[in-house]
Structure 1
Amino acid sequence: MSYLGLEGLHAFVTGARGGIGSAIVSELLAAGCRVTAHDLRAPQPEDHNLVFPLQGDISDEASISSCMKQAVQRNGPIHILCANAGITNESSHPSLWDLPVETWENVYRVNVRGTFLTIKHFLQAAKSHQERTGAELENLAIVVTGSECGKFGQAGHAEYASGKAGLQYGLVPTVKNEIVKLNSKARINAVAPGWVNTELIGDRLDDPRELYMETQGTVALKKIAQPTDVAKAVAFLASHRASGHMSGQCLSVDGGMEGRILWREEEILGKKADGQQSAAPASLPQQISKPMPKSTIKIAWSVDFDAVSGWLGTGAHPDNTTTDYSAGYFSATVGVPRLLKLFKKLGISDKVTWCIPGHSIETFPDQTQNIIASGAEIALHGYAHESASQMTAEQERDVLLKCIKLVEDLTGKRPRGYRAPLYQLKERTISLLQEHDFLWDSSLTHYDSTPYFLPKDPAPIEPLDFSPDKKAESWMHPSPDFDKLPKSSLVELPLNWYEEDATPLQFYPHIPNSAGYVDVRVVERMWMDRVEWLRSEIADGDEEMKLLTIVLHPDTSGMAHIIGMIERFLKWLLAFGDEIEFLRCEEIAEMYRQRQDGTS
């Protein structure tokens, strides 16, 4: 968990497309939040890749109520509200006696009424969730973005300063006293930015970091803050872990100063200069305590080290070129070291399963030895990444025996797991694995999130013959009921195309389902959604073993624009603490066997 401890929380940000609002969204995404981005302006198509974008008017109660409900339906209960939306009269700065009442009322309608309605419906959503679940939401926090105008006053901004002052010195303390009736740990605070280099100011300046203000015939130079400075302050106040019991406060992000509110990690976690842990300051909690979950999500994190073999078996094509094979060498020379380094950094090296074709073992012995030295499980993945349908039964047996010996010679023990290249196995493959006492396979998807036993020596499902000379009754009959077939002791750890990196993120010229130009955040969000659903199933009392199987390929996830996403997703998973458990595939399969035998 990061020092902010915001991973996995749902944040609702208003004014999300403005200069400060977009910076707040970026800061919360970087902290691991699920973000709903609300704005009066319509979202851009690319917004959907990162956040859940909503268009609405905060001053219209029906609109903000509807948006809050959509956000909850899409991203779950809202933990953090960033009430950032607001307007000011930038076209002119009249004195109070010349201020049109329409200007006053318009600013008041958005800044005060709109913020009140946003807070009101956020609290209603929290109340509804807590009544339904019987438990308080953790990290329930409101951060209002105001202005130093509202804190100190400013000539020519009477309507803006009065509205923001009402928020910062009226509404915030009032909500502070009210919110604890709903949730004993809930907090509200405000951020009051000074001059900030938003798009509006930046368009007026040659140097957007400087603001020149004419005063009595002289020019005064004033450095201004950046939107990211405000965003860091918002993230700090949104975090129970970082800002503790602070509530009802209004913090300045002064335009004349750097404006950052930032705790160093060692100040939060109490780390000494030599990296050792020391006693943390009493004012900052070490962690947010969570009740132990009834069950954990088992993370079967695996890597298929196909390398060059990927182009020889299932990827064979007469038009393959040296350029294609080059990607296979990248897998070994760059991808494997990068992944090993990342797994070591995050402390999961010995909780990973590597499925390695025999061709990769023999072609890249140094990389294979480094993988073994990491403590990972080594499983089989064919020899030249060949499909069962490309081989005779005799060839398939010879390949399996050859690869068993390769792993046995290197590790001193027989491999216990298997993944079919490109997931393409036959019923005879299942029988062959049973014959050689394999513990697990991970190629099929009769189920998608729980292990299961494969049938014992299954018979193939024969294709239908629609020849004109065949009567329809010859092929109108059901297939075997999978759940009623005799079971073997071979455990299937289900897997599908949506739980791997290569198909969406790697371009293969001659494979029809490859893409290669998908934004990594689409894949990351899909994986996160899967985890969130599994968490909800556990919360609802489902006691079946819950499994997330992820497959990486070094030639894909080793690429510079992808590995950052892999690290981000892994950190997001690890932030769930006791809710998730990284295990080698063999450990999960053994656990499942024991559970089914009633021995655990």
Structure 2
Amino acid sequence: MSRGEFGAEVGTPRLLDCFARFGITTTWCVPTHTMQTFPDAFEAIVGAGHEVAAHGVYHEYIPALDADEERRLMQLQVDQHVSLTGQRPRGYRSPALDVTPHTLDLLDEFGFDWDSSLMGRDFVPYYPRMVVDFDVERGNSFGPPSRVLEIPVGWALDDFPELESFKGSPLMQSNETVLARWKDSFDFAYERCPGGVITWTLHPQTIGRAHNLVMLEQFIEYVSSRDGIWFPTLSEVCDAWSDERS
């Protein structure tokens, strides 16, 4: 509970200040429970011009839900999002980056334009397919591509697993190691994937800690030193990527 409070009351203002100094507009994936629990922090995000995407109601673990409950919570978060922001969310990120066989269909049904929960690519958006026939001996079969654009993520570009000291997590890495990995990922995409997209997943309760925020600022300065760099929201990525292929 206290870590979540730090994220809203301390980490969020620090991040908003950081992004304002660098002139960056970002996408915040926020559970509707968090919007209602910390209204001042949420209003500060919206007031600073950042995009707000759907991220569950209470950060529910999606694979544990049956189909009816997943649909009910999807409807509830969309309704609450409209009530709290005045507009429907265009994008969705699943809590814990997990989905069920029903998630992509639900996103299509509820009119989402993009998802950012899957890892089937690293630097290129794509239209994801669900495995419809799982066979360990003869190979899997995929269903048709979703209408919803996937803007992929990756655990190596997520701050929480490697920077959060959660009950002595063996995954925790030094900031120097994490920063070097982030720079390597950026350099690869910049040099070998023209027009590519890299998505970092940052949690205010983690990246907002002083030592981690200093690392983030060093990384943004490194990226900003290159020519032709754009810091878009995920909906801007969706629009730009779709337009390029239309």
TM-score (norm 2): 0.94
CA distance in 2, matches of 1:419, 1:432: 13
CA-to-partner distance for each residue in 1:291-321, whole Å, 9 max, x for gaps?
xxxxxxxxxxxxxxxxxxxxxxxxxxxxxxx
Q: Specify the alignment match of 2:186 in structure 1.
A: 531
Q: 1:493 aligns with which of 143, 148, 151?
A: 151
Counterparts of 1:83-162 in structure 2, within 5 Å, are none
CA distance in 1, matches of 2:51, 2:170: 28
Contact 2:63 2:99 in 1 (8 A): yes
- More helix per residue: 2
1:504 aligns to 2:162 (yes or no): yes
Q: 1:360 aligns with which of 17, 34, 41?
A: 34
Q: Specify the alignment match of 2:49 in structure 1.
A: 375
Counterparts of 1:321-470 in structure 2, within 5 Å, are 325-348=1-24, 351-455=25-129, 458=130, 460-462=132-134
1:521 match: secondary structure: helix
**Paired letter, 1:419:** R
CA distance in 2, matches of 1:384, 1:368: 15
Q: Specify the alignment match of 1:479 in structure 2.
A: 140
Q: 1:452 to 1:524 in 2, by over 3 A?
A: same
Deviation at 1:413, TM superposition (A): 1.4
CA distance in 2, matches of 1:336, 1:461: 43
Q: Specify the alignment match of 2:214 in structure 1.
A: 564
Contact 1:508 1:514 in 2 (8 A): no
Counterparts of 1:238-387 in structure 2, within 5 Å, are 325-348=1-24, 351-387=25-61
Contact 1:354 1:377 in 2 (8 A): yes
Deviation at 1:591, TM superposition (A): 1.5
CA distance in 2, matches of 1:550, 1:567: 13
Q: 1:459 to 1:504 in 2, by over 3 A?
A: closer
Count how many residue pairs are aligned between Structure 1 and Structure 2: 246
Larger relative CO (CA 8 A, sep 6+): 1 or 2? 2
**Paired letter, 1:477:** R
1:551 aligns to 2:201 (yes or no): yes
Deviation at 1:514, TM superposition (A): 5.9
Q: 1:548 to 1:379 in 2, by over 3 A?
A: same
1:551 match: secondary structure: coil
Q: Specify the alignment match of 2:223 in structure 1.
A: 573
CA distance in 2, matches of 1:344, 1:488: 35
Contact 1:378 1:407 in 2 (8 A): no
Contact 2:56 2:95 in 1 (8 A): yes
CA distance in 1, matches of 2:13, 2:227: 27
**Paired letter, 2:19:** F
1:584 aligns to 2:245 (yes or no): no
1:453 match: secondary structure: coil
Contact 1:506 1:514 in 2 (8 A): no
Deviation at 1:382, TM superposition (A): 0.9
Deviation at 1:500, TM superposition (A): 0.9
CA-to-partner distance for each residue in 1:451-485, whole Å, 9 max, x for gaps?
00123xx45454x6xxxxxxxxxx522112x5xx5
Counterparts of 1:40-51 in structure 2, within 5 Å, are none
CA distance in 2, matches of 1:397, 1:486: 21
Q: 1:567 to 1:398 in 2, by over 3 A?
A: same
**Higher mean C-alpha displacement, 410-419 vs 501-510:** 501-510
2:199 match: secondary structure: strand
**Paired letter, 1:592:** W
Larger Rg: 1
CA-to-partner distance for each residue in 1:275-303, whole Å, 9 max, x for gaps?
xxxxxxxxxxxxxxxxxxxxxxxxxxxxx
Contact 1:503 1:514 in 2 (8 A): no
CA distance in 2, matches of 1:506, 1:514: 10
CA distance in 1, matches of 2:3, 2:133: 37
Contact 1:416 1:439 in 2 (8 A): yes
CA distance in 1, matches of 2:71, 2:206: 30
CA-to-partner distance for each residue in 1:488-512, whole Å, 9 max, x for gaps?
32100111100111100002229xx
- RMSD over aligned CA atoms reads 1.7
Deviation at 1:487, TM superposition (A): 2.4
2:201 match: secondary structure: strand
Q: 1:419 to 1:461 in 2, by over 3 A?
A: farther
Contact 2:131 2:140 in 1 (8 A): no
**Paired letter, 1:500:** D
Deviation at 1:446, TM superposition (A): 1.0
Structure 1 residue runs without a partner (length 5+): 1-324, 465-474
CA distance in 2, matches of 1:401, 1:585: 22
CA distance in 2, matches of 1:528, 1:547: 14
Contact 1:417 1:441 in 2 (8 A): yes
Contact 1:335 1:555 in 2 (8 A): yes
Q: 1:490 to 1:565 in 2, by over 3 A?
A: same
CA distance in 2, matches of 1:335, 1:515: 22
CA distance in 1, matches of 2:46, 2:108: 25
CA-to-partner distance for each residue in 1:75-132, whole Å, 9 max, x for gaps?
xxxxxxxxxxxxxxxxxxxxxxxxxxxxxxxxxxxxxxxxxxxxxxxxxxxxxxxxxx
**Paired letter, 2:162:** P
Contact 2:104 2:146 in 1 (8 A): no
**Paired letter, 2:245:** Q
